[in-house]
Amino acid sequence: MTLEDRILFIDGDVIVLDKPAGLPVDAPRRGGDSIERRLHELLCGYKQLPTAMHRLDQDTSGCLLFARHKPARKWFQAELEAGRMEKRYLAVVGGEVEAEGGTIDMPLGKISSADAGWRMTYDQQGKSAVTEWNRLAVRDGNSLIEFRPKTGRTHQIRVHAREGLGHGIVGDRVYGFPGGQMMLHAQSIAIARKKGAMLEVAAPLPDHFTGWADVA
C-alpha cells in the first residue's frame, strides 16, 4: 500500500494522511523507511513535494497534515504557531483512571543519560505543556482516554499520561507499558483555511484498537 492509498483528504492546498503506526515522519539517521523518503507517493499530479506541517511519533497513527505549496505552508505554519489547530487523540492507558476528566498543566524538559538515552519529563523550568482530557471508558483494568493537547511539545501526551494521570500508555516502551503496538491514535484535526470553511478530518481507528471502537 502506498501513502496515496492512505489519504483522508486532498485538494489543491493540503493533504491529510492517515499515518500508519511504526512509520517515522522524518528519515532516521540509521536509515530505513519513513514518510520523508516516500513523499513522492503524495505528489498526486504536483511537481513539488508536500511538506509535513507537524509531527507524529513513529508509533502513533492517525491524522498528519501536509501543505502542497509555499503559500499554504506559510498559512498553516502561522496557524500552528498560534496554537489554532485542534487535535484529538485517543489512547489506552494501563490502569483504571478514576476521574472523568480535567486539564494537565505540566511543563516539560529533556533529560538524557549515556545508558538510557533521552526522554521528556516534568520540569518546573521547562516549556509550558497543557493537555485537556476525558475518560471515555474503563475495561479490563485499562482506560480509554481522549486527549486534546493545547501545546505541541515532544512526547507531550505520552508524558502527561504517565506523570499527569499516573498511567502510561499501553504499548509505549519509553513512558508506558512495553509490548504490542502503542495505543495512541491522532483521531482528528481541525484547522482554519485561508479561504472557505474549516478543514476538519478524522482518521478511522486502526486495527490494534479493536475492542474500543464502540466507545471511541
Q: Which domains does the chain have, with CATH numbers?
A: 3-204 (3.30.2350.10)
Residue 215 buriedness (CB in 10 A; 0-12 / 13-18 / 19+)? exposed
Q: How confident is the model at residue 62 (pLDDT cuts 50, 70, 90)?
A: very high
**Cα 195 off chain centre by:** 26
Q: Using the predicted structure, report yes or no on whether residue 114 has a pLDDT greater than 90.
A: no
Q: For residue range 133-185, what is the model confidence (pLDDT) as tens digits? A: 999 999 999 999 999 999 999 999 999 999 999 999 999 999 999 999 999 99
How far apart, in whole angstroms, are the C-alpha atoms of residue 72 and residue 57? 23
Q: For residue range 176-195, what is the model confidence (pLDDT) as tens digits? A: 999 999 999 999 999 999 88
How far apart, in whole angstroms, are the C-alpha atoms of residue 201 and residue 109? 31
Q: pTM for this one? A: 0.95
Q: How confident is the model at residue 118 (pLDDT cuts 50, 70, 90)?
A: confident
Q: Spot the catalytic one: 13, 18, 57, 59.
A: 57
Q: What is the mean pLDDT of the chain?
A: 95
C-alpha Rg value of the chain to the nearest Å: 17
Q: Helix, strand, coil proportions of the chain in percent (round to 5)?
A: 15, 35, 45
Active site residue 172: no
Question: Are 15 and 68 in contact, with CB atoms under 8 Å apart?
Answer: yes
- Give the model's pLDDT for residue 27: 93
- Give the model's pLDDT for residue 31: 83
Residue 117 buriedness (CB in 10 A; 0-12 / 13-18 / 19+)? exposed
